[in-house]
Structure 1
Amino acid sequence: MPPPTPPHAGLPPKPRAAVVRDALGVGAAVGLSGFAFGVTSAGAGMTLAQTCVLSLLVFTGASQFALVGALGAGGAPLAAAAGALLLGVRNAFYGLRLSQMLGLPAAVRPLAAHWVIDETSAVALAQPDRRLARLGFTVTGVTLYAGWNITTLLGALGAEALGDPAAWGLDVAGPAVFLALLLPMIRDRSSAAPSARDGATPAPGRGEAGTATARPIRAGALRHEVAVAVLAVLLALACVPFLPAGVPVLVAVLAAPAVLGVAALRSRSAARRERTAAERTHRAAREEEA
């Protein structure tokens, strides 16, 4: 059995300057969103110190917005923290992949783990080798961490100076930015993998058959992701009138196993139909030969 082909095999070498440019762009752009978190946190009744400590120690935007949003809506602290924790669990799976890819020394890993978020993972995993992956991860992490915390402070100070954020319409800043961070993730990621028709050179050991096989797999994964997102939203909205703030997001987690379970049942059903059709064809062929 031949060894697996690296995902970036066949690609030309990528200069360090390009990696630094991309990492700085991602870190600076997303880091500005900390201003919206500072405003939202202050509007939820949190102090300046609490807001800044959250960004310094938690440092994962979706979880921070979920936490202050639930607290601002009157949710229990434990329910708000549980919802934020569930949103942050994905970072642990990023860490499993990045730990192998980056190969950092044991003494550095606890510090690097604090920067394992969507953006740093995306930049690191997009690189063709370990050296550039480390560079992209580090530059993105430094830029984003500094920018996020500085703009969090500025947003909280601005909200305190303006008074009630709701009076200025700033109470919608947090949800708006949260949606802006999610929208780029809801796209057909298959477009990121160029096909042979686009002039791309197939990786060694992978021809048109491999590309054609990969397309339905990517399309199926995308459909499952969209189905999970839609079902999660519906579950959360259905529970909002009946459950305390912070609890609906916990119920929304059930969307993933529900969609995966239905997909598994459909897959087994399709496999059974294919086997039955193959058996009928085989029997018909044998009868004709007889």
Structure 2
Amino acid sequence: MNFQPTPAVRIGLSVSAATGLYGVSFGALGVAAGLDVVQVVALSALMFTGGSQFAYIGVVAGGGSGAAAFGAATLLGVRNAVYGMQVNRMLRPRGWRRLLAAQVCIDESVATAVGQRDQDEQRRGFWTAGLGIYLLWNLCTAAGALLGDALGDPRRWGLDGAAVAAFLGLLWPRLSAREPIAIAVVCALATVLAVPFVPPGVPILIAASVAAAWGWRGGETA
């Protein structure tokens, strides 16, 4: 008996492989930022949202406080709550599946589901991408953390500045219209102006607040 994966499953598997392998970078960067292997692995297992994770270690690597790093990660993670409402309406998970769905509700799993028209395919795409990425991301995080720990001083390899580059890599594909580009420019300007006057980690909170205010004002005037 031959098993033929549906289109949603194939998409979910390909997205899982592409995204999950990127966890190696997070693992290495987390250790480069000063966290130990256990802390880096725990971040991926419990937080599990790439943008927020990179924001957290980016603030820590820059000398910011734990509170500033947590604040930056939280602000970026708010989008997952919006995704959760969408997934709840679309798939209507029940019982323990609802808790599991909340854990794997990320950009890629939601995008895979939304891209399908049939409800069964939406469900297959969401779970395939979500669970697949969770498994690979955590395995690759552990591998990257162990590898990063073995490399020694991260400054010899340029890893001390790689967190910013990795986060920009996540941001760049989303700059596909005038408004996101304008928001990015204004937030970047706010960050540059704030850096000389506030502690490390606070500029990213200021930038996130600017973006949130922009979005709120846009919603009010729409």
TM-score between both structures, scaled by the size of structure 1: 0.70
Deviation at 1:153, TM superposition (A): 0.8
Per-residue CA deviation, residues 155-199 of structure 1 (Å, 9 max, x unaligned), is 111111110111112223332222222222222xxxxxxxxxxxx
Per-residue CA deviation, residues 45-90 of structure 1 (Å, 9 max, x unaligned), is 1111001000000001111111111112221111110111000000
The structure 2 residue matched to 1:257, chosen from 207, 210, 213, is 213
Deviation at 1:122, TM superposition (A): 0.6
Contact 1:32–1:147 (CA under 8 A) maintained in structure 2: yes
Opposite residue 187 of structure 2, the aligned amino acid is: A
The structure 1 residue matched to 2:200, chosen from 223, 245, 257, is 245
Q: Which residue of 2 aligns with 1:101?
A: 90
Residue 61 (structure 1) aligned with residue 39 (structure 2):
no
Deviation at 1:105, TM superposition (A): 1.3
Q: Which residue of 1 aligns with 2:180?
A: 225
The structure 2 residue matched to 1:127, chosen from 98, 113, 116, is 116
The alpha-carbon distance between structure 1 residues 186 and 262, as it changes in their structure 2 partners (threshold 3 A), is closer
Contact 2:61–2:160 (CA under 8 A) maintained in structure 1: no
Deviation at 1:259, TM superposition (A): 6.5
Q: Which residue of 1 aligns with 2:99?
A: 110
Opposite residue 43 of structure 1, the aligned amino acid is: A
- State the secondary structure of the residue aligned to 1:105: coil
* CA distance in 2: counterparts of 1:262 and 1:150, whole angstroms: 40
Q: Which residue of 2 aligns with 1:140?
A: 129
- State the secondary structure of the residue aligned to 1:243: coil
The structure 1 residue matched to 2:170, chosen from 181, 196, 201, is 181
Q: Which residue of 2 aligns with 1:25?
A: 14
The alpha-carbon distance between structure 1 residues 88 and 67, as it changes in their structure 2 partners (threshold 3 A), is same
Q: Which residue of 2 aligns with 1:277?
A: none
User: More relative contact order in 1 or in 2 (CA 8 Å, sep 6+)?
Assistant: 2
Deviation at 1:18, TM superposition (A): 1.6
Count of matched residue positions in the alignment of Structure 1 and Structure 2? 218
Q: Which residue of 2 aligns with 1:275?
A: none
Indicate the RMSD between aligned Cα atoms, in angstroms. 2.0
Q: Which runs of 5+ in 1 are unaligned?
A: 1-14, 188-221, 268-290
Residue 78 (structure 1) aligned with residue 61 (structure 2):
no
Deviation at 1:257, TM superposition (A): 2.1
* CA distance in 2: counterparts of 1:264 and 1:247, whole angstroms: 27
Identity of aligned residues (%): 44
The structure whose residues are more often helix, as a share, is 2
Q: Which residue of 1 aligns with 2:191?
A: 236
* CA distance in 2: counterparts of 1:91 and 1:173, whole angstroms: 25
Q: Which residue of 2 aligns with 1:43?
A: 32
Moved more, 158-167 or 50-59: 158-167
Q: Map of 1:150-169 to 2, 5 A cutoff?
A: 150-169=139-158
* CA distance in 1: counterparts of 2:149 and 2:51, whole angstroms: 23
- Which runs of 4 or more aligned residues in structure 1 lie more than 4 Å from their structure 2 counterparts after TM superposition? 262-265
* CA distance in 2: counterparts of 1:85 and 1:262, whole angstroms: 22
Contact 2:28–2:147 (CA under 8 A) maintained in structure 1: yes
* CA distance in 2: counterparts of 1:69 and 1:90, whole angstroms: 19
Deviation at 1:223, TM superposition (A): 2.6
Deviation at 1:235, TM superposition (A): 1.1
Contact 1:82–1:250 (CA under 8 A) maintained in structure 2: yes
* CA distance in 2: counterparts of 1:251 and 1:174, whole angstroms: 19
TM-score between both structures, scaled by the size of structure 2: 0.91
Contact 1:39–1:171 (CA under 8 A) maintained in structure 2: no
* CA distance in 2: counterparts of 1:239 and 1:179, whole angstroms: 19
- State the secondary structure of the residue aligned to 1:123: helix
